[in-house]
Amino acid sequence: MLKGKMLKNLRTTTLLAVLVCVFIGMSVVGTISAEIVKINGTVTDFYGPVADAEINVYDALGSNCATNNCPSADVVSIIPTKTNANGNFQILINVSYEKTYNITVKKENYENTTKQLTLNNNSQNLSLEIDIRGIAKVEGVVVDAESGMAVKSAEVNILDKGYGTGDDGYFIFQNISAGTQTVTIKHDDYETQSFVYDMQHGKNFKTIKISKAYTTKDYAARVYSNFPSVIIGSDETKKFNVNIQNIGTKDATFEIRLLDTNQNFKYRILNQDNNEINKIFVQSGKTGNFYIEIKTPETINGGEYKFRVKVGSESPAETTLIAEVTSGSTGTYDFDASSMYRGKAVNAGSEVKFEVNLNNNQSTDTFRLNAGVPNNWKYYITNAGGEEITEVEVTKDASLNLLFKVDPPADENKGIYKVNISITSQKGKQTKTLSFEVNVRQEKKIYEVEISSPYSTKSVVVGEAIEYSVSIQNKGRAKDNYNLAVEELPAGWTYKFKESSGNSPQISSAEVDTGATKSIVLQINPSTDATIGEYKFKINVYGNANITLNASILIRGSNEMKLQIDDLWVTIEAGQEKETIIKVQNTGLSELREVELDIRKPTGWEISMVPSKIASLPSQTTGKFTLKIKPPVDASINDYKVIIKAKSAEVETSEDQIRVTISKSSSSSLLGYAIIGIGIIVVVVIFKKFGRK
């Protein structure tokens, strides 16, 4: 009886062993795979796709992760690990049960962004778009639009952030959202002005020019000095150069008064000719200047002595000047300015030159140069080499030759006009003025126009609009208004003139001052059925003077191609065949010929494609290739790359790749079947030996 029980137990044990062998063999032959979910993603910002953004996948908090920073072991691959030029990426996740993942995007000068997804083994492939916020650093300077000097104490605002400029006009903002932002500038002496900029991620530097505040009052002024403080010794005489700007709507004569003066000082108000005055005439929108001369007594205590300059009676303006008194003398400064020719004749629209000699008779000093000319005239002060200068240092007993160049406008009337150059010593605080007469002759026509374009012939791809930069120069003596037109365009074509490139307003005419040049833009839209070739047309300008410019458009095609791989990752058993679709899209405007795939494969692999070549691929169409991939039977379990690019007789794409994973090799299958076979043999032997007992 005992022997029977032993046999029974032996049979049971043997059967269990065989079942274990079969199970192990089946496990080696093949395993049950979890669901692979493919996520095709795109990263964008305010401006569009973002390249080179780093992609990572983490297990979310509560999914066997306590920190939200656990890299997920379920990720099969991320291709590429950083987004490509179109902002695209692809993630393959091995999902066996419901789980939440954090997909993170990181890039320098961008805010880290996380997108959360919950997947399970029934989840389908999906598309994902992640929008990230660019971070901009905005810095710059605020300057006066007229003088170009830095503006201090300006309030710069972007969104809810503010910054006050210092002496250098500098401002800076950190952590501003990249995109279109409005910058608002406020200052007591300037109009509140807003500027719209496209802020890029990273560094942005802006130079912002602001204009002086003007008023709707008839009579108003602004008074200031570029040197509101001078250093002066006892028994010395110095001058303040004071500017007055008429910001009212009418020309005006302004009364000048000095307030809070010191009884021991002597004060004089002087014009440019060194004559005493108490009033000054300034045209609306213009700036005049005068001088305040002070003389200190022989005996005076050191320190600051302030007084005020008040200009105007209706809406008066004030500024404060400071005489900083020191013990002893502050130095001896004196200079001479002279010119041989004090009058010259010139044609309207031409330049006339006056030679000026500056002699510094005393200590080394710096001299500021300025000039007074009639309205709308231009002037330049240069050295002998032709370099324009506004300030120059001259050593003791040295001299400097200057050229004072004056350019009357082309429409100036015949007559004699006065101009002057003023030279101000910065240390000596002296100003000397030389006056000249310019006899203007008029030889130009009243109306004359010239039109030009840097590129009268331009090429464009079929289906696109094209822009021409056109310059209209009024070479006559009078302002003129020109109507604009285009002739001899093919039927179905349209055109429009604009103030500038882009989405600027459409115009039909342009007013140009005499001697000025106005740049406009002509946009031409060929018809959708326009064929490749050259098309000639005429640009006409009609005013009191007329002119025509011959131009042409050369329409050409474009050769562009895009490669699209539906499956960037495939799994194949060794020795088996797998099909995948490769698409080639003709994104250009011309036909592509002899389109084929250029493939690099691992050694010993068989790869074929149908068709082998596409003879012709019309514009905006897509061709398909069926790719058959077959690894050798002895290929080991591993990941392999198949490199692919598309090429035609005209153009080729960049390379892309398919990742191929070998899931089973022939050696593993043979091992599994061998184990199963051994188990079966063992069962047969046991039953033959003990089955009848």
Q: List, for residues 299-326, the tens digit of each pLDDT value.
A: 888 888 999 999 988 778 888 999 988 8
Percentage with pLDDT > 70 across the chain: 87
**Residue 31 pLDDT more than 50?**
no
Average pLDDT over residues 86-93: 91
- Confirm whether pTM is higher than 0.75: no
The verdict on 676 and 636 lying in the same domain is no
Q: What is the mean pLDDT of residues 68-85?
A: 84
Does residue 330 lie within any of the structural domains? Answer: no
Give the residue from 505, 523, 556 where a domain finishes: 556
Residue 680 lies in a domain: yes
The residues, ordered by sequence, that sit 6+ positions from 414 with a Cβ below 8 Å of its Cβ are: 348, 440, 441, 442
User: Across all residues in the chain, what is the average pLDDT?
Assistant: 84
Per-residue pLDDT, averaged over 259-269, amounts to: 93
Domain co-membership, 373 together with 394: yes
pLDDT, tens digit, 9 for 90 and up, residues 465-475: 888 899 999 98
Q: Of 296, 325, 354, which residue sits at a domain end?
A: 325
As a whole number, mean pLDDT of residues 618-642 equals 91
Residue closest to 431 by CA, chosen among 421, 441, 442, 440: 421
Q: Are residues 642 and 683 in the same domain?
A: no
Of the residues 72, 107, 131, the one at which a domain ends: 131
Predicted local distance difference test score (pLDDT) of residue 157: 92
pLDDT at 52 over 70: yes
What are the CA-CA distances from residue 636 to residues 569, 573, 576, 669 (Å)? 17, 10, 13, 12
Task: Report pLDDT for 237.
Answer: 87
Q: Which residue has the tokens 């004056």?
A: 406
Render pLDDT for 399-420 as a digit per residue (tens, 0 to 9). 889 999 999 988 788 888 989 9
Q: What CATH number does residue 515 fall under?
A: 2.60.40.10
Mean pLDDT comparison of 206-220, 429-443, 568-582, highest-scoring range: 568-582
The per-residue DSSP string of 570-613 comes to EEE-TT--EEEEEEEEE-SSS-EEEEEEEEE--TT-EEEEESS-
Domain of 382, in residue numbers: 335-441
In a domain, 216, yes or no: no
**Is 478 a domain residue?**
yes
Which of 241-245, 462-466, 688-692 shows the highest mean pLDDT?
241-245
SS (H, E, C) 201-268: CEEEEEEEEECECCCCCCCCEEEECCCCEEEECCCCEEEEEEEEEECCCCCEEEEEEEECCCCCCEEE
Backbone dihedral region for residue 633 (phi beyond 0: left; psi -120 to 50: alpha; all else: beta): alpha
For residues 640 and 680, state if they share a domain.
no
- Asked whether residue 383 falls in the same domain as residue 401, the answer is yes
> What is the helix (H) or strand (E) element at residue 671, kind and residue range?
helix 666-690
Q: 351 and 306 in one domain?
A: no
For residue 373, being part of any structural domain is answered with yes
User: At 153, which CATH number?
Assistant: 2.60.40.1120
Total domain count for the chain? 7
Q: Are residues 568 and 640 in the same domain?
A: yes
Residues 535 and 610 in one domain: no
Same domain, 301 and 376: no
pLDDT at 67: 66
Report if residue 36 sits inside a domain.
no
pLDDT at 17: 55
- Is the same domain home to 202 and 232? no
Query: Domain containing 296 — which CATH number?
Result: 2.60.40.2310
Same-domain status, 54 and 80: yes
Percent of the chain with pLDDT over 90: 36
Same-domain check for residues 235 and 313: yes
Specify if 405 maps to a domain.
yes
